[in-house]
Amino acid sequence: MNVLYITVRSDFGGGPRHIDQLVEWMPKDINVFMAYPKDGCPYGLRWESNNRIKETIFIPYRKFSLKSLSELKHFIKDNKIDIVHSHGNGAGIYSRLLKILCPSVAVIHTFHGISDVYKSPVKYVLSLCMGTLLSPFCTKYIAVSKGEKELSIKRHFSKEDNTLVIYNGIENPNSKPRIKQNCPVIIVTLSRFDYQKNMDSMLRIAKMLKSCSVKFVWVGDGPDRLRLEQQAKDWGLDITFVGFSNEPMEYLKSADWYISTSRFEGLPYGLIEACSVGLPIIASNVKGNNEVVVNEKTGFLFKEESEAVEKIRLISQNVYPYSDFSKNAILFFKEYFTETQMIKRIVSLYFDISKS
C-alpha cells in the first residue's frame, strides 16, 4: 500500500508532530510518501534524512499553489498512490481537489483543530465556504477530538457517517504520580506563540499573580514571542522564555502544573504530555482542552482569566490534594492517549479503505 501524507507545515506544531509519528510507526508493508514545505524546523529537516520516506515532493509553506496541485497530481500517478492523507486546513484543500483530479485515489483528511474564533468575519466566511464546498470529496474524515467532530458536522465540513474520532497519542513514559509541588510553584506551557494559543492571556494571568509565589516557564516559539518577552520584562514578571526545545518532557517533569490559554484546539499534544507525566493542568475551557482535562480531577478548566488566577492562588497555598490530581492525570492518559492506540486505529482505517 502506498500512502501520501500532505502538510503545509513542517515546523513546530501538533499537526507536523502527528505526521512524524505516523512516518516512524507505519508497518513496513505501507510505503510512505511525503508532500511538505522544505527546510521546516524541526520536522522538515528531519524528514529529509528519514529513510522510511520513499519519495518526497515539496510544496509551499501555508500557501496554496496551482502549480503544486498539478505536480501532486502527477506525483500520485507516477508513484501509484493508494491513499492521500492530509493534515490541517491548507493540506485539506490540496487533498480534496486531488480527489476530483484523481477519482480512484482514496482521501483521508485529519482536521487538527477547527477554529471557533477568527481574526475577521471574512476569514470565517472563506473557511466556511471552502470547507462546505470540498466536503464531498473525501473518503473519510478524522477528528482528533469529539468536540472537533461535532463542530465539523455542524458546519457541514463532514457527515456523521464518514467522520471518526481518533485521539492524538504519545509514547507511554510509565510515570509515577507526583507527591508534592515546588515553592515557588512552577507552571509550564509548551506552545507556539501565535493567535490560536493566545499567549497574551497567559501574560495577563502572570501579571495578576505577580505578588504570588508562582514561576512561569514558557517552552516554544512563534511570531508573538519577542513582543511578549519584552512585555514580560517591562512588567517585571517571573517568566522564563526557553524557546524551542527538543527535550520538552524535561521541562514538564520539573514543573508542578501545566497551563493553556488557547482560543481553540484540536487535541493539544502539550496537554497530553503533561498528563503522561502526572502533571495537573489549568486550561481554557475550549474544544480539545476539555477532553484532556477532567475538571477538578486532573486539573481545572476556566472561561475567564480571573478564574484561572483564583485557582492558581489556591494552588500556591497548597489547598488542593496535589498527589490525587497527579495520579488521576496518569490514569486518564493511559486510558485514552497512548501512541499505540492512535497508530493502531489509523492503520486499521487504511486497510479497511484499501479493501473496500
* Mean pLDDT along residues 151-168: 97
| Cβ burial, residue 180 (10 Å; 0-12/13-18/19+) | exposed
Tell me the pLDDT tens digit for each residue of 114-123.
876 666 788 7
Is 85 in contact with 19 (CB distance < 8 Å)?
no
CATH, range 2-168+338-355: 3.40.50.2000
Domain with CATH 3.40.50.2000 in the chain: 2-168+338-355, 185-336
Element (H, E) at 303: none
Q: What is the pLDDT of residue 296?
A: 96
In angstroms, rounded to a whole number, what is the distance separating the alpha carbons of residues 279 and 299?
Answer: 9
* Mean pLDDT along residues 215-239: 96
DSSP, collapsed to helix, strand or coil, labels residue 227 as: helix
Distance of CA 332 to the CA centre of its chain: 18
| Cβ burial, residue 27 (10 Å; 0-12/13-18/19+) | exposed
* Mean pLDDT along residues 284-303: 97
In angstroms, rounded to a whole number, what is the distance separating the alpha carbons of residues 61 and 38?
Answer: 8
Confidence of residue 243 (pLDDT cuts 50, 70, 90): very high
62-66, 233-237, 244-248, 283-287: the lowest-pLDDT one: 244-248
Q: What is the pLDDT of residue 301?
A: 98
Topology (CATH) of 185-336: Rossmann fold (3.40.50)
Q: What is the pLDDT of residue 12?
A: 86
Distance of CA 40 to the CA centre of its chain: 17
Tell me the pLDDT tens digit for each residue of 60-98.
999 999 999 999 999 999 999 999 999 999 999 999 999
Q: What is the pLDDT of residue 74?
A: 98
Model's pTM, two decimal places?
0.90
Q: Which residues contact 135 (CB under 8 A, 6 or more apart)?
A: 156, 157, 158, 159
